[in-house]
Structure 1
Amino acid sequence: MRKLFSLATAFLFSLSLFAQQTQKPPLHGKQWMAITGKPLAATAGSMIFQKGGNAVDAACAMLGATCTMWDVLSWGGETQALIYNPKTGKVIGINALGVAPTGATAEFYKSKGYNFPPEYGPLAAVTPGTVGGLCLMLANYGSMSLKEVLAPSMQLASGYPIDAQTANSMERGKQRIKEWPYSKKVFLPHPGEKREAPEAGEIFVQKDLLETLSKMVEAEQDALKKGKSRKEAIMAAYDRFYKGDIAKEFVRGCQEQGGLITMNDLANWKPIEEEPMHVNYKGIEVYKLQQWTQGPMLLQSLNILENFDLKNMGYNSTRYIHTLYQTMNMTFADRDFYYGDPAFPPSEPMQGLLSKAYAKQRARMISMERNMTNVGPGDPYPFEGKTNPFVDVLKKRGYSLDTTSTQNRNFAPAHDVRNEAVAAIDEAYMERLWAGTTSVEAADAEGWVVSITPSGGWLPATIAGNTGVGMSQRGQSFVLDASLNPFNVIETGKRPRVTLTPTMALKDGKPFLSFAVQGGDTQDQNLLQFFLNIVEFGMTVQEACEAANINTNQLWLSLGGSKNEDRQPKPGSLLLHDNTPEWVRKELRQMGYTLSFDDRTSGPINAIWFDWKHKSFWGGSSNHGEDYGISW
């Protein structure tokens, strides 16, 4: 293989990219900033800010609006959030992910012929989490009433001009939607016509959802009249959703359509406030949610990459792309085997996985000459003074824990693909890889910062009875085979390991970046590169949002597919941007990569950068999709 192109060439290539004007202008604000996946939802955040709300209030309003607008999620989905509290200087994690319902066991799904819980329908559902997460955030850290914060959502539910993306999604999914009577009633208002879904710009009305939201506000207002505090009143609304008449109708509608969720499942579920995990990368503290998300994969990646001189490699040079790809493959292998719900045994080896010493070991294992097609999970247990209890499982799957050589390691995934050519990346696979959601970013002059990656209940969704609430499909992220991941086997009351992963970074004890992205298994891939684009390559936040990223497919998919073959890694499969120079393409092919290309590879990412020199905010929002921000 010829010598990698020179650093000077890489540097000039980088400069030519950075010199280009961004396709969207950066946002600038002094008082507040609101960014999310839909323009109308960003407007909802701005309405709350203009009424005196803080960033938590505004984030909750945007969350509600995106759910109401079906921005690849609904009110029955799940919410994952990080909040910076300026009063304490701490970052808080919000775990509002639902759990597997009563009767949802590996044996149950296997008896129905499944290799994974299904992608769609009532049997894909975990308990709804977003309502509880919103109420918890608002009650503990907001300043306004639920009535005020839900006002934009209720206006949208009473009728809003639907966008083409959502309306066309309803039309494309109408055959599946017709399987569920309550979904059909909401999403297909023109039965029997050629187009049964709404048209773009048509006023889309959701009477049942409006009634559900009205009942929650009614419960809050009744509690206030009885002398309850703001927080107690918000939690009265919470109780009506999870224990009252809303819950009864949700459960009735779920079970009528074949679902498993019970009243006890709803009543016993609780959102959790948790301490996030974090690592220090060159003086910057980076925070992610715990191992029930894929978030620690980004932290592991930073620990490994800290051992390389990325800046001198050059942005998107061959050596940089290769190092990044190999690092992500290692951390995805760890994610795929070791992550799960920390509330259930066995205990995940997170201390070892996030140790700097383990990262150094993993970094030394990277071959700089070729793609390691058979990379597998490492052994973090010695780095927390323990012995790996799953050595036999790993051996049966063909993995070796030998760390002495970078060459010819016997790291073979289940269903050995060591000698198999990388399959063509088909459309169904890419849909599973990129399965979207939305993101919410908010910040205010008082210092509150919020980053949320909500999801679940996406189209085509099964609506639970006459609630207007779409049920989550997150159950599909569990596994049924313990040899794939002994920490993530479905059990009643357990949370699946999800892809949803907001991020926050502090520098000198103050907010530095708040960022999130949609896109299934690509989320932390894009967030990692966004962070490095700013920290290593000096991009502005909007440049970093638009910059060309890479994606690896050498991982186990977290969503979709009915067979192991649908989800298993595609070794060497690498997505690059269309503008990647021919010499980089040639060198990567010589290193064993199979390349594919796209004109948008960055996200879409939404982010806020904190300019402490000028005491202002910089906002970045993706240059594709419908993501949008407003600031003042």
Structure 2
Amino acid sequence: MKNALLILFVLPLGLVAQPTQKPVLHGKNWMAITGKPLAATAGASLFQKGGNAVDAACAMLAATCTMWDVLSWGGETQALIYHPKLKKVIGINALGVAPTGATPEFFKSKGYDFPPEYGPLAAVTPGTPGGLCTMLAEYGTMSLSEVLAPALELAAGYPIEAQTANSIEREKKRIKEWPYSSKVFLPHKGQEREAPEAGEIFVQADLLKTLQKMVEAEKAALKKGKSRKEAIYAAYDRFYKGDIADEFVRGCQEQGGLITKQDLSNWKVLIEEPLQVNYKGIEVYKLSQWTQGPMLLQSLQLLKQVDLKSMGYNSARYIHTVYQALNLSFADRDFYYGDPYFPPAEPIKGLLSESYARERLKFLLTEKNDPAIVPGDPYPHQGEVNPFKKELEKWTGFTGTEVVAAPDREYLDQVWRGTTSVEAADKEGWVVSITPSGGWIPACIAGETGVGMSQRMQSFVCDASLNPFNVVAPGKRPRVTLTPTLALKEGKPFLSFAVQGGDTQDQNLLQFFLNMVEFGMNVQEAAEAPNFNTYQYWLSLGGKDRKPKPGHLLLHNSTPDWIRKELRDKGYILRFEPRTSGPINAIWFDWKHGSFWGGSSNHGEDYGIGW
């Protein structure tokens, strides 16, 4: 017995089962991961029919929208696609724009400091239908009819899960303000519980008709001899220019919204070149400054100059260093990020430069957090003079003497406000990472389309002194929190990852990435590992209190007492939770063995299937 015990203790760590709540997913041919088991099954079914990763990702996107996880068809889609034939990463910008009449003056006249959180005035134009059609037409292999088949079946009726059903019940007071939402979400009106019960067959007849109309448009185009791509774009046109658009606009305006038929017709999906930085031989790609994605790249530029590994995973010194690096990047995000297709031009070249990172690194304090961190000046690092020095001077930051209220539940809901993620990869080399969102419950449904309108308008500002690049204007995209990620190593896919959770997304993705690259965790360990969260930034979503909360720090319940003491000695105000990250979903590419490793967080209902 003693000998057996001795053998056990000298076994290499790699031979011991991984200490995670969920197992690593392994696959040789494909991997499909998203926010709901049924939606992951939709992706798997497309793979089994011979589709590529783009086909499967589009099927999962359609399914999650239909299941309101936590988004709908009227929301927005942000995606990165690795194209194996071109050997490059491609960005998909399917974010809607502010409609006609959406100006600071309009919202201020209605008593808003920011555009509203809910209702028809919170809506930008829908982006997801166009984003899905564009990805499928340009990079997929299958028809829209095939890809939407699982979503059509779900819309016809599926057993709703408790998470969504209970969310409807909690939000029923607001849902009742909108007649079309009330019709869809509250099948038991007048009873004590008006929302569906868990497991009840949830039917969305109007949405089913809308999706069928898109499929009909594709089939009609094919009958006329159009190509696969042209037929998919015929469905796109029916949504944005045809009878679906007519009903969407009618239903929106009837309820007080601003979206016009011209707003829908003028909007288009943009195929972009993403941004990237190199972190110790790994090329990390993010969508550009219309998302918060570049702040992860800025953080990596800072942290690659520091020996993080020697500090130890989640040591007080490590947390303190990464916390401040995040705050520096958040401050720049809050002031400089906005729609690159609208003037003025953001100084993104300077923000991502190594010289600017070296300058910002000087602001990292050793012993205390700096509550007065403000945006820097990246313009000299791209050979220009900052045209917004006066506005920048108004960012006085905190002196450290102010009393900052601790985050309450309402504030934390704004911080963590959810979405979902979609990750897919196949043996041909296609990789897709999507962070779609918008139109979450309680959504205002536009007429008899069954389509919940986006609430993304709230991410604009109405005051240029807060951010001169993100002031609301008709035709402009708000700067969003949504931020998929791809990483390449030695010219090949290395990691695909995304997470839900509003402003927390990139700070949790940064820690996930460092967990793997610096501390050797596998993809599932990194997805489940305790993170920490800073609140030292302006909130991007809703509520009365959007101001930064410097020095407030969320830690995992398992944080040892000595780490807590060291952080308190550095002046931090600590909060503890059993979950410190939204659900992270990821795929790691094992080129040594020719396989995929999938990670799907143990927080929430996220689920993956591999083969």
Normalising by structure 2, report the TM-score: 0.97
Are the equivalent residues in 2 in contact too, given 1:101–1:126 (CA < 8 A)? yes
1:249-288 alignment, distance < 5 Å: 249-288=247-286
1:528-567 alignment, distance < 5 Å: 528-562=510-544, 566-567=545-546
Please state if 1:492 is matched with 2:474: yes
Length, aligned pairs only: 598
| 1:453-479 per-position Cα deviation (integer Å, ceiling 9, x unaligned) | 000000000000000000000000000
Report the AA paired with residue 442 of structure 1.
A
What is the match of residue 47 of structure 1?
45
What is the match of residue 454 of structure 2?
472
Q: Which secondary structure does the structure 1 equivalent of 2:31 belong to?
A: strand
2:537 and 2:139 map into 1 onto residues whose CA distance is 37
Are the equivalent residues in 1 in contact too, given 2:214–2:239 (CA < 8 A)? yes
Are the equivalent residues in 2 in contact too, given 1:541–1:608 (CA < 8 A)? yes
> What's the CA shift for 1:139?
0.1
> What's the CA shift for 1:113?
0.5
Are the equivalent residues in 2 in contact too, given 1:340–1:487 (CA < 8 A)? yes
Are the equivalent residues in 1 in contact too, given 2:97–2:125 (CA < 8 A)? yes
1:211-610 alignment, distance < 5 Å: 211-398=209-396, 412=397, 418-562=400-544, 566-610=545-589
Given the alignment, which residue of 28, 31, 35 partners 1:30?
Answer: 28
> What's the CA shift for 1:353?
0.2
Report the AA paired with residue 53 of structure 1.
G
> What's the CA shift for 1:423?
1.2
Report the AA paired with residue 492 of structure 2.
K
> What's the CA shift for 1:417?
6.5
2:581 and 2:446 map into 1 onto residues whose CA distance is 35
1:590 and 1:19 map into 2 onto residues whose CA distance is 37
Q: Which secondary structure does the structure 2 equivalent of 1:123 belong to?
A: helix
Report the AA paired with residue 607 of structure 1.
A
Given the alignment, which residue of 170, 175, 182 partners 1:172?
Answer: 170
1:602 and 1:110 map into 2 onto residues whose CA distance is 35
1:76 and 1:359 map into 2 onto residues whose CA distance is 38
Please list every run of at least 4 consecutive aligned residues from structure 1 whose deviation after the TM superposition is greater than 6 angstroms.
none
Are the equivalent residues in 2 in contact too, given 1:358–1:380 (CA < 8 A)? yes
> What's the CA shift for 1:602?
2.8
1:547 and 1:360 map into 2 onto residues whose CA distance is 29
1:300 and 1:326 map into 2 onto residues whose CA distance is 12
| 1:31-83 per-position Cα deviation (integer Å, ceiling 9, x unaligned) | 00000000000000000000000000000000000000000100000000000
Normalising by structure 1, report the TM-score: 0.94
> What's the CA shift for 1:425?
1.5
2:400 and 2:133 map into 1 onto residues whose CA distance is 49
Given the alignment, which residue of 602, 609, 613 partners 2:592?
Answer: 613
Q: Which secondary structure does the structure 2 equivalent of 1:617 belong to?
A: strand
Q: Which secondary structure does the structure 2 equivalent of 1:23 belong to?
A: coil
Report the AA paired with residue 619 of structure 1.
G
Are the equivalent residues in 1 in contact too, given 2:130–2:236 (CA < 8 A)? yes
What is the match of residue 401 of structure 1?
none
Are the equivalent residues in 2 in contact too, given 1:434–1:519 (CA < 8 A)? yes
What is the match of residue 7 of structure 1?
none
Report the AA paired with residue 587 of structure 1.
E
1:598 and 1:20 map into 2 onto residues whose CA distance is 23
2:447 and 2:214 map into 1 onto residues whose CA distance is 17
2:63 and 2:373 map into 1 onto residues whose CA distance is 42
| 1:606-630 per-position Cα deviation (integer Å, ceiling 9, x unaligned) | 0000000000000000001000000
> What's the CA shift for 1:421?
2.6
Q: Which secondary structure does the structure 1 equivalent of 2:112 belong to?
A: coil
Are the equivalent residues in 2 in contact too, given 1:75–1:457 (CA < 8 A)? yes
2:402 and 2:390 map into 1 onto residues whose CA distance is 25
What is the match of residue 138 of structure 1?
136
Q: Which secondary structure does the structure 1 equivalent of 2:586 belong to?
A: strand
| 1:292-348 per-position Cα deviation (integer Å, ceiling 9, x unaligned) | 000000000000001100000000001100000000000000000000000111110
Are the equivalent residues in 2 in contact too, given 1:545–1:603 (CA < 8 A)? no
1:586 and 1:448 map into 2 onto residues whose CA distance is 47
1:47-126 alignment, distance < 5 Å: 47-126=45-124
> What's the CA shift for 1:502?
0.1
Report the AA paired with residue 483 of structure 1.
S
> What's the CA shift for 1:363?
1.1
Q: Which secondary structure does the structure 2 equivalent of 1:567 belong to?
A: coil
2:390 and 2:55 map into 1 onto residues whose CA distance is 50
Q: Which secondary structure does the structure 2 equivalent of 1:459 belong to?
A: coil
Q: Which secondary structure does the structure 1 equivalent of 2:209 belong to?
A: helix
Q: Which secondary structure does the structure 2 equivalent of 1:576 belong to?
A: strand
Report the AA paired with residue 446 of structure 1.
E
Are the equivalent residues in 2 in contact too, given 1:182–1:466 (CA < 8 A)? yes
Structure 1 residue runs of 5 or longer lacking an equivalent are: 1-14, 399-411
> What's the CA shift for 1:603?
2.3
Report the AA paired with residue 591 of structure 1.
K
What is the match of residue 3 of structure 1?
none
Note the aligned Cα RMSD (angstroms): 1.1
Report the AA paired with residue 601 of structure 1.
T
Are the equivalent residues in 1 in contact too, given 2:504–2:581 (CA < 8 A)? no
2:361 and 2:161 map into 1 onto residues whose CA distance is 46
Report the AA paired with residue 461 of structure 2.
V
2:514 and 2:102 map into 1 onto residues whose CA distance is 40
Are the equivalent residues in 2 in contact too, given 1:525–1:551 (CA < 8 A)? yes
> What's the CA shift for 1:420?
1.6
| 1:178-203 per-position Cα deviation (integer Å, ceiling 9, x unaligned) | 00000000000011000000000000
Report the AA paired with residue 320 of structure 1.
Y
What is the match of residue 197 of structure 1?
195
> What's the CA shift for 1:396?
2.8
Report the AA paired with residue 473 of structure 2.
E
Deviation larger for 18-27 or 308-317: 18-27
2:17 and 2:340 map into 1 onto residues whose CA distance is 45
1:393 and 1:337 map into 2 onto residues whose CA distance is 9
1:397 and 1:226 map into 2 onto residues whose CA distance is 59
Are the equivalent residues in 1 in contact too, given 2:406–2:549 (CA < 8 A)? no
> What's the CA shift for 1:391?
1.2
2:238 and 2:486 map into 1 onto residues whose CA distance is 33
Q: Which secondary structure does the structure 1 equivalent of 2:575 belong to?
A: strand
| 1:437-467 per-position Cα deviation (integer Å, ceiling 9, x unaligned) | 0000000000000000000000000000000
Are the equivalent residues in 2 in contact too, given 1:170–1:197 (CA < 8 A)? yes
1:560 and 1:418 map into 2 onto residues whose CA distance is 26
> What's the CA shift for 1:364?
1.9
What is the match of residue 9 of structure 2?
none
1:234 and 1:332 map into 2 onto residues whose CA distance is 39
1:164 and 1:423 map into 2 onto residues whose CA distance is 33
Are the equivalent residues in 2 in contact too, given 1:422–1:594 (CA < 8 A)? no
Are the equivalent residues in 1 in contact too, given 2:374–2:395 (CA < 8 A)? no
Deviation larger for 601-610 or 119-128: 601-610
2:290 and 2:126 map into 1 onto residues whose CA distance is 16
Give the percent of matched residue pairs that are identical in Structure 1 and Structure 2: 77
Are the equivalent residues in 1 in contact too, given 2:33–2:423 (CA < 8 A)? yes
